[in-house]
Amino acid sequence: MAVPRPYYERSQRMLRLGRREFGQHEPVIMAIVNRTPDSFYDQGATFRDEPALARVEQAVAEGAAIIDIGGVKAGPGEEVSAEEEARRTVGFVAEVRRRFPDVVISVDTWRASVGAAVCEAGADLLNDAWGGVDPGLAEVAARYGVGLVCTHAGESEPRTRPHRVSYDDVMADILRVTLELAERAVSLGVPRESVLIDPGHDFGKNTRHSLEATRRLGEMVSSGWPVLVSLSNKDFVGETLDKPVKERVVGTLATTAVSAWLGAQVYRVHEVAETRQVLDMVASIAGHRPPAVARRGLA
């Protein structure tokens, strides 16, 4: 297999989300804000409004351009109705919109009804992590003129874990699904420059699948669609290094650096400041960002 060329040798289209435009060589951080009492990473630290708003303020200060708000944890757990999901997210979206008018607000949901409600409240992007399980979500994105993340989830039902899933070629399946979802979204009226594709690490995949998806990420980038990766502290990192959730930061950042070199543009993360340093370093190595300070050998 040919080694994919590094991202700076490829041509990608402009990404436009909300009031923001991002150039082809501009890495973008999407900070996670969970509005759930049982999230796998922080066990509900941002379930209440004030800690959640403090998290948004900190993430923006550390360099996040997108805030991704979720009202239902990805894994199995207590059932959360659409009404409860909306209660957790809609008012919060409106308040973030009021306090941070220029930040891009994303909502992690698979439900069209919730998508419509958060768009009314000011959301700019719908992050559909479950691969179009509700086809109406793309229609909502088109109706409101907002962006859409098209994710490969291996046809999994929301909030289920993969069991003995197999693919003849995992990247071929990722490309087939995400490109079909992206083209459908555009055909419905979602702005082409506001559609992203996501390989869906861990979603409908075992650890070897997620590692291969990372290794072959350049194939997604070569499609021309902006690529979003959600790597932060995930199980594939934990299994690869045999580390519990709270000890996966180093593995996450290593995977982030590889993904940046291969051309991913948007990074959904918990650790914003650390991710910013990794992305800046990769951009500087690639020649798209000057060093913040350059005194060595010059004084």
| Residues forming the active site | 234, 268
Q: Are strands 195-198 and 66-70 parallel, antiparallel or unpaired?
A: unpaired
Structure tokens at 96: 């973030």
CA atoms within 13 A on the CB side of 178: 33
Residues 174, 223 contacting (CB under 8 angstroms): no
Closest CA to 29 of 63, 58, 57, 56: 63
Cβ burial of 281 (10 Å; 0-12, 13-18, 19+) is middle
CA atoms within 13 A on the CB side of 145: 4
CB contact burial 105-131 (16+ within 10 A = b; e otherwise): bbbbbbbbebbbbbbebbbbbbbbbbb
Give the 3-state secondary structure of residue 153: coil
Strands (E), 26-122: 28-34, 66-70, 104-108
What span, in angstroms and rounded, lies between the C-alpha atoms of 202 and 211? 10
Residue with tokens 């069209």: 112
What span, in angstroms and rounded, lies between the C-alpha atoms of 127 and 106? 6
3-state DSSP percent of the chain in helix, strand and coil, to 5? 45, 15, 40
